[in-house]
Structure formats: C-alpha cells, structure tokens
Amino acid sequence: MPTTATDPKILAQLDEPYALTEEQITRFREDGFVKLPNFWSAELLAHYDDIITRLTLSLNPKKDVPLKDRSTYDQAFIQVGNLWKKDAQAQELAHSKRGAQAAAQLMGTNGTRMWHDQALYKEAAGGFTPWHVDQQYWPMASGHSVTMWMPFTAVPIEMGPLCFGRGSHLKNIGRDIEISDDSEQLIREAIKANGVLEIFEPYALGDVTFHYGWTLHRAGPNTTTDSRRVFTVIYMDEQMRLAEPKNQNQKNDWNSWTPSTKLGEVMDDVLNPVLYSAG
C-alpha cells in the first residue's frame, strides 16, 4: 500500500482545466479522436504509475496463466476495471476534474459521469489488440461516450500505442462485432473498402488521447522488454440513458457497471457519479 498521501501539488493538477483549443475540439469531432500533449506532468504520472501498477498486478485475473496459453484477447493486455472502488488514490486519478471537463468539452455536453475506469497493461511480448469499437459493449442511448487513454510512460511504436481509424465514428463499421481475431480481419477489410485512413503514432510522456466509443481502434504488439502501462477512464454524457441491450455483451455491462439503472433511465447508479458539470 502507498505509505504517503498524494502531494497537494499533484492533487491540484487533477482539478486544473486543460486549455483545449478550438482546433483540437474540431479535430476530435471530425476524426473521432485527438491527442493532447502535456496533459499530465511527469511527477503526476510517476506517482500514479506506482499505485495503479500495484493494483493491476495484484488483481490481474490471468496472472497464473502463461501468456502463450491465453486467448488473443487476453494476450493483448491485462485488464482490470473500477480501480477507483479499490483504492482512494486510484479514485483521485479516475475522478479527476481535468479529464472529465476535457471529455465534456470535446463531446459538447454539459457534463460527464463515469462509466468505468480500466487498467490496460500490455505485457512485454504481449500480443496485438484487434480492431474494434468500444461501444459495441455498452448499452448507451447516444454516442456521447469517450475514453481517455493515458500511458504512464512514453509509448514508442514498438510498445503498441493505439491506432485509430480517422472518421470511423461516422461510419457503420464493426459495430456488431466483438473484439476477436474475426474483428481484426473483418474490420481491416472494411477499413480498406471504405478508404478509412489509419493513424498510428507514438506517445510522448504526458500525452493522452480521447476517442469516441464508436471510433475504430487497435494496437500493435509490445515487442519491448517493458510493459505498456495504461490507465483509461470512460466518460459519458451526464444525461446518458440506458438503452435496450443489443447483445449479450451489453447485457453483461449493464449488470456490471450500472446495475440499479432501469431501461430508459439516466445512468445514475452509485458506480456512475457525475465527475464534471458546467451547472
């Protein structure tokens, strides 16, 4: 467990607004994603890297399964969700006003509430992440959902940064396909047929990306000797309502992430607190 409280200077940064430009907002809405440089300081990243890594490794559901014996999905990353419920300092990061306000401004909503957080750690020699869209899993009534993808280190191409399909959130590609070897093949073929440009770039220390729930993305394998340590927070419109699930994945996520919400209601479960509202 951490032995010291978070430095007040780091806590202050969590609530300090990020100065988005009109160009960044336009790029996000047209492209379906945007990279924001210097979103977090090196000091903040180093502090929370230790906390999130400790939690992720201790809670890793596949820690006793050798990498070679896992499915394509499980070779892609260690995945642990709702860390904010397991550690007070993880909650500090997951509930940052800085991230939540940026998400609202990018989407053009009055505010944001939490869907959930996730650690996505691509281990050394970890496999590729197949093409997919996140919102295939989420029973949401609108497309106003966005993921903040924040690595704790620089992420060179060799470590498996995200690759996005530019403008793919405006096309109906892969929305009924869960992440798998099949999604990799079928979506790759559809991307080529639709002329979608793939954007695949490294991340510098402090960079984060935000992407819509309907934006196609994938990641390459990690061919380095270090893990790609990434924390994500998934935000949704503060007025997001629960839609009729279209598949078993959405039924599962209803039960996991907003269990008290009824169909048609705003997702006001205790697991979905409002993180930012303009009032």
pLDDT tens string, the chain, 279 residues long: the values are 445 789 999 999 999 999 999 999 999 999 999 999 999 999 999 999 999 999 999 998 777 777 777 777 777 778 999 999 999 999 999 999 999 999 999 999 999 999 999 999 999 999 999 999 999 999 999 999 999 999 999 999 999 999 999 999 999 999 999 888 889 999 999 999 999 999 999 999 999 999 999 999 999 999 999 999 999 999 999 999 999 999 999 999 999 999 999 999 999 999 999 999 998
Separation of CA 167 from chain center: 18
Question: Exposed e or buried b for every residue in 200-223, given b needs 16+ CB within 10 A?
Answer: eeebebbbbbbbbbbbbbbbbbbe
pLDDT of the residue at 118: 97
233: left (phi over 0), alpha (psi -120 to 50) or beta: beta
Q: Give, rounded to a whole angstrom, the gap between the first and last alpha carbons of the chain.
A: 37
pLDDT of the residue at 71: 77
Residues 152 and 229 sit within 8 Å (Cβ to Cβ): yes
pLDDT of the residue at 1: 46
Kindly list the structural domains of the chain, giving each domain's residue range(s) and its CATH number in brackets, ordered by start: 8-272 (2.60.120.620)
In 3D space, the residue among 44, 115, 52, 85 whose CA is nearest the CA of residue 268 turns out to be: 115
| Interatomic CA distance for residues 182 and 197, integer angstroms | 20
Residue by residue, DSSP assigns 52-99 as HHHHHHHH-TTTTS-GGGS-HHHHH-EEEE-GGGT-HHHHHHHT-HHH
**DSSP at 135:** G
Find the length of the chain.
279
pLDDT of the residue at 70: 79
Query: 68 exposed, middle or buried (CB, 10 Å; 0-12, 13-18, 19+)?
Result: exposed
pLDDT of the residue at 275: 98
